[in-house]
A and B are shown apart, each in its own frame.
Chain A
């Protein structure tokens, strides 16, 4: 047991060696040693917490949609806007390396949208989302759907201040995605198995895919949907309503 706080860790494993910002000069070695013990992601984490407080203060539900390229995130958003937009004010951040193609699609679907281009960057970070919010200006009570860059690697590390991470996993990808990209699937609060209308045409074993997901994430909700045909989408909307209510409770707490 950790002697510092009584948690199950061990002080020697470094999980909470004193993590603070002020340096400690020590005289040993040829040059002075300055202990830092700062998390490498500290700056992004701080910006994400700032976003989280900003969302909570405005009673806004923010979710972070991640997937491999082409899993159907934008199509999912288009259908969600069409079906749910009248009931829930939906605002969208579109993250891509380049172009405003997706933002144009979302705009046509009828939701306010801001396109964030990451340039050579492979993920959205919390500061980009903060800047996006200044342009998007979602009102109190809105739901902000953040479509991350299509990439199952880098976005796993960068907290945006969202309430939940949604992994969109399509049946054209192969059942082993969760064990090939465990970081991303581990971080998911919910996994949407998309393109189920294609199941008769592809060799995709749903049970095996879900078992693989369970080996890296025991708690994520899963919903099988087709954003194209609308199958299963009602359960996804129910999940969003539930999260919306949870955000409202957190805001009033």
Chain B
């Protein structure tokens, strides 16, 4: 349910960056381990964007997979969830990817 609050933030930030110009496309980065459902953002977006500069804009969401480096053996490996241990058995890892929650860019309807 926090996705609605986040979508409001996305629309507010994007509209500020658009500075009065209509927006054709918004690109987000929502990592698969971020705790945010991209699907729920997609569901909320058209409604939140209505009657703003983002009305009718296309929403693109990049969803990086989880990726981590083991702090014991140094191996890098995919982490589809929070519970994936390194092959060496260690849970002591540095998360490299998958937690992103970013507004990457907007594309304006008209060329600059």
Cα distance, A35 to B103, chains bound together (Å):
9
Chain B neighbourhood of A183, CB < 8 A: 35, 82
Q: Shortest distance in angstroms between A234's beta carbon and chain B's nearest beta carbon?
A: 31
Quick check: is A53 within 8 A (CB to CB) of the other chain? no
Quick check: is B28 within 8 A (CB to CB) of the other chain? yes
Q: Is the CB of B14 within 8 A of A36?
A: yes
Q: What class of interface size applies to chain A in its complex with B?
A: 35 or more
Q: Is the CB of B1 within 8 A of A122?
A: yes
Quick check: is A153 within 8 A (CB to CB) of the other chain? yes
Given that A40-B6, A122-B2, A125-B5 are contacting pairs, would A14 and B108 also be in contact in the complex, using a CB cutoff of 8 Å?
no
Given that A32-B107, A34-B108, A157-B36 are contacting pairs, would A39 and B17 also be in contact in the complex, using a CB cutoff of 8 Å?
no
Q: Which residues of A contact B (CB under 8 A)?
A: 8-10, 13-15, 23, 25-27, 29-44, 121-123, 125, 153-154, 156-158, 179, 182-183, 186, 214-216, 218
Q: Out of B19, B25, B85, B102, name the residue touching A40 (CB < 8 Å).
A: B102
Chain B neighbourhood of A9, CB < 8 A: 96
Interface of B is mostly: mixed
Q: What class of interface size applies to chain B in its complex with A?
A: 35 or more
Quick check: is B13 within 8 A (CB to CB) of the other chain? yes
B70-112 contacts to A, CB under 8 A, are 81-83, 85, 91-92, 94, 96-97, 100-112
Q: Is the CB of B107 within 8 A of A10?
A: no
Chain B neighbourhood of A36, CB < 8 A: 13-14, 17, 103-106
Cα distance, A34 to B106, chains bound together (Å):
5
